[in-house]
């Protein structure tokens, strides 16, 4: 069963998103992160962001949650306001 780690952030400027997306394109993911996909959403007017990280199973989620939870604030979009775990009920691209 696939799982998603959904994290919301406050205080996220457009400049910060541009900086992070550039780093994500140019750098390898954090060591130990076994994510299958990352989706980063940004509301520039509200300065909020939502990061959704997908994992194949509970073990990969647990390891990824530990890696992401230990990240320094400099490596995150903004102030973490919530972290939640979801089962992926359905996933499709068109």
Residue 61: CB atoms within 10 A of its CB come to: 21
7 touches 67 (CB < 8 A):
no
Tell me how far apart the alpha carbons of residues 48 and 80 are, in angstroms, rounded to a whole number. Answer: 10
**Residue 12 maps to a domain:** yes
Q: Considering the entire predicted model, what is its pTM?
A: 0.91
One pLDDT digit (tens) per residue for the chain, 94 residues: 999 999 999 999 999 999 999 988 998 888 889 999 999 999 999 999 999 999 999 999 999 999 998 988 777 888 999 999 999 999 998 8
Smallest CA-to-CA distance from 11 within 37, 42, 33 is with: 42
Sequence-ordered strand ranges (E) for the chain: 3-10, 37-43, 48-55, 79-87
Domain count, the chain: 1
Residue 94: inside a domain: no
Residue 32 belongs to domain with CATH number: 3.30.70
Concatenate the DSSP letters of all residues of 51-69 into one string. Answer: EEEEESSHHHHHHHHHHHH
Could you tell me the residue range of the domain that residue 10 belongs to? 3-87
């Amino acid at each position: 069963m696939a799982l998603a780690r959904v994290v919301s952030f406050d205080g996220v400027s457009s400049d910060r998103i541009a900086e992070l997306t550039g780093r994500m394109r140019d750098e390898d993911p954090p060591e130990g992160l076994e994510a299958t996909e990352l989706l980063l959403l940004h509301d520039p007017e509200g300065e909020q962001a939502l990061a959704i990280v997908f994992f194949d199973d509970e073990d990969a989620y647990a390891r990824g949650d530990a890696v992401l939870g230990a990240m320094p604030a400099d490596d995150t979009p903004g102030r973490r306001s919530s972290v939640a775990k979801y089962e992926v009920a359905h996933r499709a691209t068109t």
